[in-house]
Amino acid sequence: MAAGGSGRRAGLMAAAGGAELWRRLSAWLPRGRLGLAALLGRLSDRFSRGRDRRARRSSWLLLAPLLTPPVPVVTAPPCSLCPEGAHRFQWIRNLVPEFGISSSHVKVLSSPTEFYELLKVQIKTAKQRVVMASLYLGTGLLEQELVDCLEETLEKSLEAKGSSDLRVSILLDYTRGSRGRKNSRTMLIPLLQRFPEQVRVSLFHTPNLRGLLRLLIPERFNETIGLQHIKVYLFDDNVILSGANLSDLYFTNRQDRYVLLQDSPEIADFFTELVDAIGDVSLQLQQDDTVEMMEGMVHPYQGDKVAYCEIANRRVMEVINSARTRQELLHAKTFHSSQQGSALLPQQGAQASGGLKPEPDTWIYPLIQMKPFGIQIDEMVTETLLTEAERDARIYLTTGYFNLTQAYMDLILGTRAEYRILLASPEVNGFFGAKGVAGAIPAAYVYIEHQFYSEVCCLHQQERVRLQEYSRAGWTFHAKGLWLYLAGSDLPCLTLIGSPNFGYRSVHRDLEAQVAIVTENKALQQQLHQEQEQLYLCSGVVSSSTFEQPNRYVKLWVKLVTPLIKNFF
């Protein structure tokens, strides 16, 4: 290998966790196509260019907190279990735990109302734990009804046993959750006051918002620096993964995606531990509306930034790596049990296998992205999926905020799969009609979309890469994720669902989590296909004439400013 290639690979290994991660990934990726070496080299080049740019801009003192190199990722030991017949995406489990489940435990939801009603039912029936991670909790009547459900469930738990086994843990973003006089904090304080032993409210504050930057940036604008953006809602052993926040719009007329994983204790344990880990490095809301850190914990914006990020990295990676180890042991035990059961079956008949669990036909992989802490798993998996997508494969990718990273755009334009990208038309953008500068954000997205479409046309890729705009009267659009259809298949075998938007913020600024769901079950594949079709049915194909419409006019100042601020939204 050329010296330059070796240097790029070494640079990426340092950034993404070292030689062990390189070995684990290289061993599992398919051969004969664009390999991981090319992907990692591309990533390494990008990291190197980023460091050079940071050096040149070192005089921008206000942005200094944003430009600190990431903390190296702590990696887990390699996975040695390789059962025969494993699906083609098995390499993902070398980075994160693999949870094998029955497809009958997966339910895809389709509407905000269905999502909201399910939240209430799950809260009311919870016995052991309620764990909710969101950007914020709204302050309207529907949100208050959720809080009332929590209060009622906690009361019943106390009445039934005298001392409650039910624990409620809520993780929100500090800046978004503190916006305004009536906010997420004031909504939850009554629960803290009434059930201090059962309820915990954690408010994550990005370590990048500190010092002079924190003093100068006003409310709302301070949310551009970095957020807690994970959306996970779990109740006992049932887990809801979504991109939706706990706000009335997301319960009524803001379209998102939602999937329920039922009776999945290992997955619920993982996300409980993940939320606990982030909560431990977050500010703790007190009964008097003050906040304080846990004893002995480094403060996110008053303490040493490097020390804080190292602790946060270690806590989160401990969750990921311990879950990987547990699942490997469980897989080994199940594998050997099934082998023994198969040997006994001819001698003892069907009764010998009666106690064995059915073989999983669906696999769940949690993908975590926390660049402030140097954790880039979701980014690596997403880029690898895009890189390895074969000719005639189809990828349906959707985002409510079309602002793809340069790496994602390069892969979409430079690989061979067909892409159908669904994005919000200006009228269904969440910022449409907003006051002040925020009201120009939909126009900025139109400008970014037009630039990307022009590049597609210049490369004569209009047939392979198609943009479609979601449009629905009275609704806004917030769905994100992708569906992967292998060549020759009419149904998807993989979907990504969760909080990331595939944009700069998701990759570099915010805390994000989604899951990759891989399934061999035709019924579940049909569910996912119908979900995709339902979203795309409300869309129109983008063409050159789209940008000639009066509502697509972008003012000159927006065109000038967008390149400077696109990394903040």
Question: Residues 394-444: pLDDT tens digits?
Answer: 999 999 999 999 999 999 999 999 999 999 999 998 777 666 777 788 899
Spacing of C-alpha 537 from chain mean position: 25
Give tens-digit pLDDT for 109-156.
999 999 999 999 999 999 999 999 999 999 999 999 999 999 999 999
Contact present, 117 and 272 (Cβ < 8 Å)? no
How high is the pLDDT of residue 159?
86
Q: Cα separation of 503 and 568, whole Å? A: 10
Contacts of 482 (CB under 8 A, 6+ apart): 385, 395, 396, 397, 398, 495, 496
Give tens-digit pLDDT for 441-485.
889 999 999 999 999 999 999 999 999 999 999 999 999 999 999
Contact present, 241 and 516 (Cβ < 8 Å)? no
pLDDT exceeds 90 at position 107: yes
How high is the pLDDT of residue 350?
43
pLDDT band at residue 162 under the 50/70/90 scheme: low
Which of 185-194, 325-334, 505-514, 533-542 comes out lowest in average pLDDT? 325-334
Half-sphere exposure of 86 (CA within 13 A, CB side): 15
Distances (CA, A) of 224 to 219, 269, 376: 10, 31, 20
Position with higher pLDDT, 332 vs 530: 530
Instruction: Please tell me whether the overall predicted TM-score, pTM, comes out greater than 0.95 for this model.
Output: no
pLDDT band at residue 356 under the 50/70/90 scheme: low
Q: 472 exposed, middle or buried (CB, 10 Å; 0-12, 13-18, 19+)?
A: middle
* Three-state DSSP state, 420: strand
Q: What angle do CA 167, 168, 170 make, to 5 degrees?
A: 150
Of the candidates 374, 311, 388, 376, the one whose C-alpha atom is nearest the C-alpha of residue 513 is 376
pLDDT band at residue 95 under the 50/70/90 scheme: very high
How high is the pLDDT of residue 210?
97
How high is the pLDDT of residue 283?
98
Provide the token pair at 409.
Answer: 């755009």
pLDDT exceeds 70 at position 71: no
Of the candidates 385, 538, 391, the one whose C-alpha atom is nearest the C-alpha of residue 464 is 391
Positions marked catalytic: 229, 231, 236
How many of the other CB atoms lie within 10 Å of CB of 196? 11
Spacing of C-alpha 447 from chain mean position: 25
How high is the pLDDT of residue 27?
52
Contact present, 221 and 109 (Cβ < 8 Å)? no
Contact present, 532 and 491 (Cβ < 8 Å)? no
How high is the pLDDT of residue 330?
86
Contact present, 305 and 210 (Cβ < 8 Å)? yes
pLDDT exceeds 60 at position 69: no
How high is the pLDDT of residue 378?
98
pLDDT exceeds 60 at position 172: yes
Which of 236-240, 330-334, 350-354, 424-428 comes out lowest in average pLDDT? 350-354
Q: Cα separation of 369 and 379, whole Å? A: 7
